[in-house]
Amino acid sequence: MRMELLSEDQQLIADSAAGFLRDGHDIAAFRALREAGDDINSAILTDLAEMGWMGIVTPEALGGVGLGYRAAGLIAEELGRNLTVSPFVSSAILAGTALASAGGEIAQHWAPRIAAGDAVIALAMDEAAKHRPERIATSVTGTSHALTLSGRKTFVGDGGMADRLIVTAKRGDDLCLVLVDPQAAGVTRASQVMLDHRNAGTVIFEEVPIAEADILTQGPAAEDVLAKTLAAGRAIAAAEQLGVAKAAVEQTYEYLRTRKQFGALIGQFQALQHRAADLYCELAQVSSLIAAALNAMDEGGDEVETLTRAAKAKMARVGRQATEEGVQMHGGIGMTDEMDLGLFMKRDRALTEFLGDAGYHTEWILRQRGI
């Protein structure tokens, strides 16, 4: 996997994202949210929309800026570095991709609202403790004039604050994606406590009345839309996790350069140098893999599914290595709340589970190769 050189425009996006988040939505802001007991900064949605980020993958025809997934990945990486809490992945990426891919009247109405920061839409797909989007018990039943939705979704990212939910369900043997108002009769939302202090929830649907017009897409078309949506989410989540890992590693390297033991800088100890060098190489490799996955998304390449799954699996392993090495090289203080490493570790673990862990995606790749 070759190293990628960013274009001038891409470097500008990366630099502006770094500066913007550092100046107002950094780790200190995350700590303030946590101490206040809040799981979202209400002002951030407007800020992200003004930067054009909420419409980053949405085409201009639907009110977005259409800069693509590679650009979105650069933003996500900086979100990870700063532990920024935002609905970027859930609404701008997952919902934005689903709407743009499905098209139709629902997309024409809601995609511009996401891009403008006027609405948050969350994808409700998982029904158990682990990510298994293919296991769907939620169902749409009834006639075209009297449809109802029933089922239960768990770990819905930003589900507690969403204005609408895109729900995966079965209508007979067909997959369908349904747009649901969480305030509708028969819908119950309950917040879930997340390891990384993020907004998520369980949503229960009890014979919720819906109309044909609420069905975003159905059948093989819905399967294609969901596949593209999940691929986009995996690649962007991996990019955010890369930012988390890089920030943890940078703090660790700085500690190795400044901490003395037995009268010498610990960075001079050969054993630690070897571990640091190995980690550097792993980060370089996974960075290239994530870039390849994001570029494939933009180009519509045949390897999108495999690359995004490989990037998610590889990043899960490297993220764990980066955060654990950071804590170990810092010694006992690495686990104290005063250090940011513990916060990076929690976010890393949550991102590993989000949209499938390493084992889930590795198993898929092996099956595809007949192994």
Mean pLDDT of the chain: 90
Comparing 6-20, 61-75, 212-226, 352-366, the range with the smallest average pLDDT is 6-20
Predicted local distance difference test score (pLDDT) of residue 8: 86
| Amino acid, single-letter form, for residue 124 | A
Contact present, 69 and 58 (Cβ < 8 Å) = no
Chain segment 6-41, per-residue pLDDT in tens: 888 889 999 999 999 999 899 998 998 888 877 677
DSSP string, 208-241: EEE-GGGEEEETHHHHHHHHHHHHHHHHHHHHHH
Predicted local distance difference test score (pLDDT) of residue 252: 78
Predicted local distance difference test score (pLDDT) of residue 4: 73
Predicted local distance difference test score (pLDDT) of residue 194: 85
Identify the structural domains of the chain with CATH numbers, from first to last: 8-119 (1.10.540.10), 123-218 (2.40.110.10), 222-368 (1.20.140.10)
Long-range contacts of 36-43 (CB under 8 A, 24+ apart): 39/85, 39/160, 39/191, 39/197, 39/198, 39/199, 40/85, 40/86, 40/87, 40/158, 40/161, 40/199, 41/85, 41/86
Overall average pLDDT of the 175-204 stretch: 92
Predicted local distance difference test score (pLDDT) of residue 272: 63
* 3-class DSSP assignment, residue 178: strand
Of residues 253 and 259, more confidence is placed in 253
Predicted local distance difference test score (pLDDT) of residue 277: 82
Q: Is 164 left (phi over 0), alpha (psi -120 to 50) or beta?
A: beta
| Amino acid, single-letter form, for residue 329 | M
Predicted local distance difference test score (pLDDT) of residue 43: 80
